[in-house]
Amino acid sequence: MESVQHFSRLTTLVQDLKAKDTDPAVVGPVEVDRKKIESAVRLILEAIGEDPDREGLLETPDRVARMWTELAAGQVADPADQISCEFFESSAGVVLVKDIGFSSTCEHHLLPFVGQAHIAYLPREGRITGLSKLARVVDIAAARLQVQERLTAQISQALVDKLDPLGVIVMVQAEHTCMTVRGIKKPGSSTVTIDSRGCYKEDAALRAEILNLLSRH
Ligand SMILES: [Zn+2]
């Protein structure tokens, strides 16, 4: 791989994403057992000494139940379904998409963690997908109960499943509210997870080059 081509290609693709990424989000509400959530929320309110029937709380169980139709929208979806191999671009160098914002739910505390995913992949035989599709993969994988390591791996796996690229790196950076509003209470701390596949797993120099690009602001 020739690194000058690597870089000029990168610039082009990152610019393309900004121009084209106008597709609406695909993660819509899903059916959940709202009655069950409502009764669970009432129980929590009672358990902390609240009166679920006081005015300010009357609608809370219903609101929380509707909230879960969004937070769990990716629970049974396959992130890989968002990817199709739409283009064959024979000169395709590494494709890099940075700063895909997401919010997900920590399965240990049912609290949000919020951050950005950065994705880089090296296409095999020019097989690439629309750049906005990568953002949708992140949306689906995030809309379920997660731990950050698994979220990171599920994003790479979706690319591996559909594009079979020569290499993939996914870096996820997030602030976990379970670390900022409770427990050790360390606001501003962020957790970084990295999943590398193919040539980026095997070749330390290639991996270092991409990680350097992904972590640059
Ligand atoms: Zn947590």
Q: What is the pLDDT of residue 26?
A: 57
Indicate the pTM of the whole model.
0.85
Residues 139, 95 share a domain: yes
Instruction: Tell whether 66 and 148 lie within a shared domain.
Output: no
Query: What's the CA gap between 190 and 173, in Å, rounded?
Result: 6
> Are 60 and 80 part of one and the same domain?
no
Write the CATH number for 149: 3.30.1130.10
pLDDT for the residue 186: 82
If asked whether residues 64 and 134 sit together in one domain, one would say no
Does 163 share its domain with 141?
yes
Number of structural domains, the chain?
2
* Per-residue pLDDT at 13: 52
Maximum CA extent, the chain: 67
Res 18: pLDDT: 46
* CATH number of residue 53's parent domain: 1.10.286.10
Residue 158 in contact with residue 100, Cβ under 8 Å? no
Amino acid at 53: D
pLDDT of residue 7: 45
Q: What is the distance in A from the centroid of ligand 1 to the CA of 195?
A: 20
| Co-location of 109 and 141 in the same domain | yes
| C-beta separation of 200 from 168 below 8 A | yes
Between the CA of 160 and the centroid of ligand 1 the distance, in Å, is 28
Please list the active-site residues: 106-109, 148, 176, 178
For residues 192 and 94, state if they share a domain.
yes
User: What is the token pair recorded at 152?
Assistant: 């990171």
The answer to whether residues 39 and 137 belong to one domain is no
CA of residue 192 to ligand 1 center, whole Å: 14
Compute, in angstroms, the gap from residue 199 CA to the centroid of ligand 1: 32
Residues 86, 140: one domain?
Answer: yes
Mapping DSSP to helix (H, G, I), strand (E, B) and coil, where does residue 91 land? coil
- The pLDDT value recorded for residue 199 is 97
Residues 108 and 151 in one domain: yes
Same domain, 100 and 205: yes
Pair 113, 149 in one domain: yes
Return per-residue pLDDT of the chain as tens, 217 residues: 334 344 444 544 554 444 444 444 456 788 899 999 999 999 999 999 999 999 999 999 999 999 999 999 998 888 998 888 777 777 778 999 999 999 999 999 999 999 999 999 999 999 999 888 999 999 999 999 999 999 999 999 999 999 999 999 999 999 999 999 888 888 888 999 999 999 999 999 999 999 999 887 6
Range(s) of the domain holding residue 66:
34-71
The Å distance, Cα 108 to ligand 1 centre, comes to 5
